[in-house]
């Protein structure tokens, strides 16, 4: 994959998800300077960090539809009962994308509202 594709994901997470570089670093396990380099397109994530960035981007995309862009950083940084009172950002960082995805699926269900 090209460096710009990952930069686009990092920028998307920052702009649409309203997540800080620190949030992105926390969710991906990368250093703050590394995240900034991704956004500047001077480095590209690889391995598990690339995987975590793509997962975070997918979560942001789904949450933007459900809760709105302004609420994404609130939701992702607050404990969620369905995640054992863990914060979604920490669950993502630990490789728990599927757990977070299941919770989001419940929010997407028409019976939720």
User: Model confidence over 30-40: pLDDT tens digits?
Assistant: 999 999 999 99
Q: Give the chain's domain count.
A: 1
Domain assignment of residue 89, given as a range:
3-108
Q: Which residue has the tokens 């709105």?
A: 68
Distance CA 58, CA 55 (A): 5
- Please report whether residue 11 resides in a domain: yes
* 113 falls within a domain: no
Q: Does residue 38 belong to any structural domain of this protein?
A: yes
* Closest of 93, 90, 68, 80 to residue 18, by C-alpha: 68
**Domain annotation covers residue 54:** yes
pLDDT in tens, 5-30: 888 999 999 999 999 999 999 999 99
Per the structure block, which two tokens stand in for 14?
Answer: 């920052």
Question: Is residue 68 domain-resident?
Answer: yes
* Cα distance between residue 113 and residue 108, in whole Å: 9
Q: Does 75 reside within a domain? A: yes
pTM over 0.85: yes
Is 47 among the domain residues? yes
Residues 78 and 71: their CA atoms lie apart, in Å, by 11
């Amino acid at each position: 994959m090209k460096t710009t594709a990952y930069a686009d994901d990092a920028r998307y997470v920052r702009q649409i998800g309203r997540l800080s570089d620190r949030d992105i670093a926390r969710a991906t396990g990368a250093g703050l300077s590394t995240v900034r380099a991704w956004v500047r397109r001077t480095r590209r994530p690889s391995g598990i960090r690339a995987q975590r960035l793509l997962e975070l981007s997918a979560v942001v995309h789904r949450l933007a539809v459900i809760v709105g862009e302004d609420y994404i950083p609130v939701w992702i940084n607050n404990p969620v009962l369905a995640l054992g009172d863990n914060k979604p950002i920490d669950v993502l960082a630990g490789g728990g994308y599927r757990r977070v995805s299941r919770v989001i699926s419940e929010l997407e269900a028409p019976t939720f509202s």
